[in-house]
A and B are shown apart, each in its own frame.
Chain A
Amino acid sequence: MKKIKSSDVVAYILVIVAVGITIFPFYLLVTTSIKPASEQFSSPPVLIPSSVTLGAYVNVFEKWSFQSYLVNSIVVTIFSVAFSLALGVPMAYALTRFRFPRNMNDSLAFFILSLRMIPPIVGIIPIFIIFRYVELNDTFQGLILAYTVFNLPFTVWIMRGFFIDLPRDFEEAGMIDGCSHLRAFAQVVLPLSIPGIVSTASLCILQSWNEFIFAVFLTSLYRKTVPVLLSSFIGDQQYLWGELTATASLAIIPALILLLLVQRELVKGMTFGAIKG
């Protein structure tokens, strides 16, 4: 039996307090969504609902047509992530397996990463104006395009790290057997990269799902996503607290599932491959 030191007890208490503070807002979110309306705003606050009601959830679907925002979010997320993988995976591969003129491989990779450092608002203003002229504001195409480019630097950088670690023996063996490089990529490299692609995709989905600033400025009526709906429940004058928490509770489910699935890769991905979780 390991002896328990007093410093261990202190560590335990610290961690338990931190975990408690971390998860309490989640508890509040879910319980508020099922509270009777009279208990949403009361002083002192009601921490344990006296009864359970799904009224807010019904409202969200019937009065606020949550389903149409949901469809927008799903379409934009799936297509943009698919496109950024289709474009970004080959880019990352090229950066690790071919020599670019003047050995620019690393500079190109850093350039692509630096695009991610630009605050999004800087890009949104000109994109908004250009989209006005080509009539892409408030369309699926416009939003998908914007999200694809938003995800692309991330995809290239993460997959580049993955390809650097992937041994070249397999594809070289294939190429000796007479495969073209393209075929070696399609038939040998891609199947081996599935784990990397899945975790990159999951991280991109997570970010696109919760993305707000592009969505709010590039949509106005038809293509608002779930985060934009969320922002409209709470304004200077109104507090639709039940609707807000119900929508947020629904919206967080896919994000939580993804988070649990890619937990290990999450830290690695979010630190751009620098730290292995």
Chain B
Amino acid sequence: MAVLEKYTKWLFFAPGFVVFLVVIIAPLVFSYVIMFFRWNLFDPFQKNPVFVGLGNFVELSTDLQFWGAWYRTVLFAAVVVPTEFVLGFVLALSLKRDLRGERVIKTLLLLPLAMAPITVGALWRVMYSPMFGVINYFLGFLGIPPQAWAASTQQALISTAIVDIWQWTPFVTVVLLAGLVSIPSEPLEAAIVDGASSAQVFRHLVLPMMRNVILIIVILRVMDAIKVYDILYTLTYGGPGNATTFITYRISLDAFKSWHIGLASAESFVSAMIVAALTLVFIRLISERRVAG
């Protein structure tokens, strides 16, 4: 009986872990191998992968397409995450005032999470349509001339950012509101009695007490912004030109359009390293809080 008990934990843990190893770790290891090969899946003249050593990485180091995609991805994240955060905070503070109908409002704010990103992209593509779209139509009332939006090289990135902001600001709001509600009100009231201004209370009490919540929502949004793919697929196809070819889109083009599997694997590896470095920074930030708190 005792022997059986000893193995119970493996009985619980092992099946799932084996599936992890087979379906995640094995393919990852496989891609760490093929990134050293030149391999075009559908080139009739090149049946077998050719070993090129670090060739793919040498090529990548000066590949403006690849680094350009990363640059645009960082730019995109740098636009959407702070915007969603600030707008979300303003809305959360507004909702904190016990407005009537708060529950209904919260439900309505969560609705965009139900919409498939692929639908979101398609829907906004038509809303952005310079001729038939509702956005130019509404802006017309404000006297703003029609814009090209997603169809213009200059405006495509910001148009994509607006879509992301539309889908995710409400979620950020609800998360920050949950954080605000969990703050004990006594210290805040005490500070106001002591004559602190609401700006001081916000800066020195609310923000520090919200640190954990803020960190988590920022981490989640940064990670998702880096991965953004679906909305591009129906909104811009990474274009016009490569104006919205973010990193995931770039890799998918190299892998599944040009079929340069080796090169795409090298790109994946470098990108995964960048994401891993970011994750480590974030985990450190969170554990610092643990030590301090």
Please determine whether A270 and B171 come into contact, CB atoms closer than 8 angstroms.
yes
Please determine whether B117 and A119 come into contact, CB atoms closer than 8 angstroms.
no
A70-97 residues with Cβ-Cβ distance < 8 A to B are 87-88, 90-91, 93-95, 97
Q: How large is the interface on A (under 10, 10 to 19, 20 to 34, 35 or more residues)?
A: 35 or more
Tally of contact residues, B, Cβ under 8 A: 99
Cα distance, A239 to B123, chains bound together (Å): 11
Closest to B217 in A: A271
Interface assignment of B74: CB less than 8 Å from any CB of chain A: no
Please determine whether B27 and A130 come into contact, CB atoms closer than 8 angstroms.
yes
Interface assignment of A126: CB less than 8 Å from any CB of chain B: yes
Closest to A146 in B: B23
Please determine whether A182 and B213 come into contact, CB atoms closer than 8 angstroms.
no
Which chain B residues border A8 with CB–CB below 8 Å? 97, 99
Interface assignment of B31: CB less than 8 Å from any CB of chain A: yes
Please determine whether B111 and A125 come into contact, CB atoms closer than 8 angstroms.
no
Residue among B12, B166, B182, B217 having the largest count of chain A Cβ atoms under 10 Å: B12
Interface assignment of A190: CB less than 8 Å from any CB of chain B: no
Please determine whether A259 and B113 come into contact, CB atoms closer than 8 angstroms.
yes
A123-B125 CB under 8 A given contacts A212-B233, A230-B116, A252-B114: no
> How far, in Å, is A115 (CB) from chain B's closest CB?
6
Q: What number of residue pairs across chains A and B have CB atoms under 8 A from each other? A: 271
Interface assignment of B131: CB less than 8 Å from any CB of chain A: yes
**Could you mark each residue 12-35 of chain A with 1 if its beta carbon is under 8 Å from any beta carbon of chain B, else 0?**
101100110111011011001000
Please determine whether A125 and B137 come into contact, CB atoms closer than 8 angstroms.
no
Cα distance, A41 to B134, chains bound together (Å): 11
Please determine whether A121 and B13 come into contact, CB atoms closer than 8 angstroms.
no
Query: Which residue from A112, A118, A212, A263 sits with its C-beta under 8 Å from B107?
Result: A263
Which chain B residues border A97 with CB–CB below 8 Å? 9
Please determine whether A266 and B8 come into contact, CB atoms closer than 8 angstroms.
no
A112-B20 CB under 8 A given contacts A118-B275, A126-B34, A270-B171: yes
Cα distance, A25 to B220, chains bound together (Å): 24
Cα distance, A236 to B34, chains bound together (Å): 33
A238-277 residues with Cβ-Cβ distance < 8 A to B are 239, 241, 244-245, 248, 251-252, 255-256, 258-260, 263, 266-267, 270-272, 274-277
A-B contact pairs, 18 of them (CB 8 A): A22-B170, A25-B123, A25-B166, A43-B132, A87-B16, A90-B15, A91-B12, A95-B13, A98-B12, A115-B20, A117-B276, A125-B268, A130-B30, A248-B116, A258-B114, A263-B106, A266-B110, A276-B182
The 10 nearest A-B residue pairs measured at CB: A11-B94, A98-B9, A126-B27, A87-B16, A94-B12, A210-B116, A255-B114, A90-B12, A94-B13, A126-B31
Q: Could you list which residues of chain A lie within 8 angstroms of chain B, going by C-beta atoms?
A: 7-8, 10-12, 14-15, 18-19, 21-23, 25-26, 28-29, 32, 41-45, 47, 87-88, 90-91, 93-95, 97-98, 100, 110, 112, 114-115, 117-130, 145-146, 148-149, 152, 156, 180-182, 185, 206, 209-210, 212-213, 216-217, 226-227, 230-231, 233-234, 236, 239, 241, 244-245, 248, 251-252, 255-256, 258-260, 263, 266-267, 270-272, 274-277
Besides the known contacts A8-B97, A145-B23, A267-B171, 12 further A-B residue pairs in the complex with CB atoms under 8 A apart: A25-B115, A98-B13, A115-B20, A115-B24, A117-B279, A118-B275, A129-B34, A146-B23, A213-B248, A263-B106, A274-B216, A275-B179
Q: Could you list which residues of chain B lie within 8 angstroms of chain A, going by C-beta atoms?
A: 1, 4-5, 8-13, 15-17, 19-20, 23-24, 26-28, 30-31, 34, 41, 87, 90-91, 93-95, 97, 99, 105-120, 122-127, 131-134, 137, 140, 166, 169-171, 173-175, 178-179, 182, 212-213, 216-217, 220, 223, 226-227, 229-230, 233-234, 237, 247-248, 251-252, 255-256, 261, 264-265, 268-269, 271-272, 275-276, 279, 283
